[in-house]
Chains A and B, each alone.
Chain A
């Protein structure tokens, strides 16, 4: 096997360790302390925000408009409807604002 293939396998193993590691550490605890639990409950909003915020900063008006409309739809509708609304607004806005 090529050395590239071995690097891919090592990378895959390293990735699997990150995906199972947090659970292995937490499951050693008999009871999760309240502050750790509060931290874990904060993970989704905290991580997902970091996947949006820098993209917002580096985007332009077409992208901002799409995010605003999608965000407003999300207040009322579900995930799929906000996603479609945002994608449609983006598609239209890019034709005029690019």
Chain B
């Protein structure tokens, strides 16, 4: 019996290992795409007067690229400390939407695991988690962490490299690394194309984010554009969003 228990434990740990690696493989494009930004952050942090330790702890504790860039920009300008913290909060405010949307699927996990998962909930991590759920696979903790831990370690490691060797890094735009994230995010947008109202939501968010980008400025276009798309789904009757009507009923009403 003891042997059986050990067997089942080893098979569980083996399957959670494979889940972890599956998540890591799925998150590989994220690692490639964020690396230049990690290097850039490390380099710019030095130029704005942070120490290597401060740059690394910012990547390790905040773990949010855009907000860190804004943060070091303000450190360089010697603005009031509370203004810097508030700016980081403002840039990261979009995560409230991710947290509200993904929390439904994590609520079965033990609290400590949820607490860790929310800490690692970046743009890309959120999108990966949603697309796992979208494709009907179970979002296990191991799979979630496979993607999250690899991109976290990549982010911190590239920050270190940028901080120490930043001045030696050549111009990377010739090989196109600066545009890898938009391509990657387009792929994730396409992943959700079978969801109800996909096209109208994408159209409204695209127009709203472009207008906000022009007239309000970055990074507010993310929050304003997203809110416009979400508002559309809220305003339209729930039946249009595929909610409240079972598929069979929908077929009947159409017939």
Which A residues fall within an 8 A CB radius of B?
A: 2-12, 14-27, 32, 34-57, 59, 63, 66-67, 70-71, 74-75, 79-80, 82-83, 86-87, 90-91, 94, 98
Q: Are A3 and B81 in contact (CB under 8 A)?
A: yes
Q: Are A25 and B232 in contact (CB under 8 A)?
A: no
Q: Are A34 and B127 in contact (CB under 8 A)?
A: no
Residues of chain B within 8 A of A71, CB atoms compared: 186, 190
B197 located at the interface, meaning its Cβ lies under 8 Å from any Cβ of chain A in the complex: yes
Residues of chain B within 8 A of A94, CB atoms compared: 173-176
A-B contact count (CB 8 A): 289
Which B residues fall within an 8 A CB radius of A?
A: 26, 28-29, 50-51, 54, 57-58, 61-64, 67, 71, 75, 81-82, 84-86, 88-89, 92-104, 106-107, 114-115, 118-119, 121, 123, 126-127, 130-131, 173-176, 179-192, 195-198, 201-202, 204-210, 213, 218, 221-222, 224-234, 236, 238, 241, 243-244
**Chain B's nearest CB lies how many Å from the CB of A78?**
9
Q: Is the interface of A mostly helix, strand, loop or mixed?
A: helix
* With known contacts A16-B119, A82-B190, A2–B54 Cβ distance under 8 A: yes
Residues of chain A within 8 A of B197, CB atoms compared: 38, 42
* With known contacts A11-B85, A44-B126, A49–B95 Cβ distance under 8 A: no
Q: Are B54 and A43 in contact (CB under 8 A)?
A: no
* With known contacts A22-B99, A23-B102, A42-B229, A63–B119 Cβ distance under 8 A: no
Q: Are A48 and B189 in contact (CB under 8 A)?
A: yes
Q: Are A46 and B67 in contact (CB under 8 A)?
A: no
A66 and B182 alpha carbons, distance in the complex (Å): 10
Top 7 nearest A-B pairs (CB, nearest first) are A46-B229, A23-B103, A22-B100, A22-B99, A50-B225, A42-B233, A12-B61
* With known contacts A22-B103, A39-B230, A43-B98, A50–B222 Cβ distance under 8 A: yes
- CB-CB nearest in chain B for A53: B206
Residues of chain A within 8 A of B232, CB atoms compared: 42
A94 and B171 alpha carbons, distance in the complex (Å): 14
Which residue of the partner chain, among A5, A52, A75, contacts B57 with CB atoms under 8 Å?
Answer: A5
Residues of chain B within 8 A of A22, CB atoms compared: 95-101, 103
**Chain B's nearest CB lies how many Å from the CB of A44?**
4
Q: Are A11 and B88 in contact (CB under 8 A)?
A: yes
